């Protein structure tokens, strides 16, 4: 049995060796192979009618038009590096307009001066102060120089008798007029 296996093994080894040699010989022969072609026979005299080709010769290479210099046009495309949301630049406003805008948004400037109620006055110290309430009941502390009311009345005087507020407005003729409004403490009953 062992002899049979050795014979089969040697048969396959020998067959594989012969196959490898055959492949090597054929691969090496490709470079050195010279193909001899028989010389073409000289044609006999051909008449002039036969020399015309039956079909036009067509070339497999067709002339392509030359591409433009810039073949990519990105003018209609979106810039991928720009943000989606564009923040508008704030216009430069003057300090006066910003102050006026903030000033108009305060609740002390949303009522007429006559609608405020004076509830207390503090005298002495560096400056006098007064406390007023708006029609909603919210309290505000006033000092001389502050503005109050819809028409930007200026507090000009705070004393024990009350608070004087001066409002400036233009009349029908265009002249600037001043009106003094006096807020007094309510009398005790």
Instruction: Return the CATH number at 131.
Output: 2.30.30.830
Looking at residue 24, its pLDDT comes to 63
| Residue 46: strand, helix, or coil | coil
CB contact at 8 A, 111 and 103: no
Rounded to 10 degrees, the C-alpha dihedral 60/65/69/71 comes to: -80
Structural domain boundaries enclosing 149: 110-184
Q: Which residues of the chain are under the pLDDT cut of 70?
A: 1-19, 21-54, 56-62, 67-71, 90-91, 95, 98-105, 189
Residue-wise pLDDT tens digits, 16-42: 666 676 666 566 555 454 555 555 555
Looking at residue 39, its pLDDT comes to 58
Asked whether residue 2 is domain-assigned, the answer is: no
Q: What is the DSSP letter of 136?
A: T
| Residue 176: strand, helix, or coil | strand
Looking at residue 131, its pLDDT comes to 93
CB contact at 8 A, 143 and 149: no
Of 134, 137, 124, 131, the residue nearest 162 (C-alpha): 131
Q: Report the alpha-carbon distance of residue 88 to residue 86 in Å, rounded.
A: 6
Asked whether residue 173 is domain-assigned, the answer is: yes
Q: Report the alpha-carbon distance of residue 8 to residue 149 in Å, rounded.
A: 119
Looking at residue 65, its pLDDT comes to 72
Looking at residue 96, its pLDDT comes to 73
Asked whether residue 115 is domain-assigned, the answer is: yes
Residues in the chain: 189
Asked whether residue 23 is domain-assigned, the answer is: no
Asked whether residue 135 is domain-assigned, the answer is: yes
Asked whether residue 16 is domain-assigned, the answer is: no
Looking at residue 82, its pLDDT comes to 82
Number of domains forming the structure of the chain: 1
For residue 22, the cross-strand partners are none
Q: Report the alpha-carbon distance of residue 35 to residue 158 in Å, rounded.
A: 126
Asked whether residue 55 is domain-assigned, the answer is: no
Q: Report the alpha-carbon distance of residue 140 to residue 153 in Å, rounded.
A: 15
* Structure-token pair, residue 15: 């067959």
Instruction: Please indicate, yes or no, whether the overall pTM of this predicted structure exceeds 0.85.
Output: no
Asked whether residue 176 is domain-assigned, the answer is: yes
Looking at residue 59, its pLDDT comes to 63
């Amino acid at each position: 049995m062992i002899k049979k296996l050795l014979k089969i093994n040697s048969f396959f080894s020998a067959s594989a060796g012969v196959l490898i040699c055959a492949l090597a010989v054929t691969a090496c022969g490709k470079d050195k192979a010279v193909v001899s072609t028989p010389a073409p026979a000289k044609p006999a005299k051909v008449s002039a009618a036969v020399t015309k080709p039956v079909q036009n010769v067509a070339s497999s290479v067709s002339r392509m038009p030359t591409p433009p210099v810039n073949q990519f046009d990105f003018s209609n495309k979106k810039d991928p590096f720009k943000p989606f949301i564009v923040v508008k630049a704030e216009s430069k406003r003057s300090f006066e307009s910003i102050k006026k805008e903030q000033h108009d948004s305060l609740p002390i400037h949303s009522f007429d001066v006559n609608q405020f109620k004076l509830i207390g006055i503090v005298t002495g110290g560096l400056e006098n102060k007064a406390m007023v309430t708006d029609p909603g009941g919210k309290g505000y502390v006033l000092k001389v120089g502050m503005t109050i009311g819809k028409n930007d009345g200026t507090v000009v005087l705070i004393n024990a008798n009350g608070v004087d507020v001066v409002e400036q407005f233009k009349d029908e003729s265009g002249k600037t007029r001043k009106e003094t409004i006096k807020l007094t403490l309510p009398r005790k009953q």
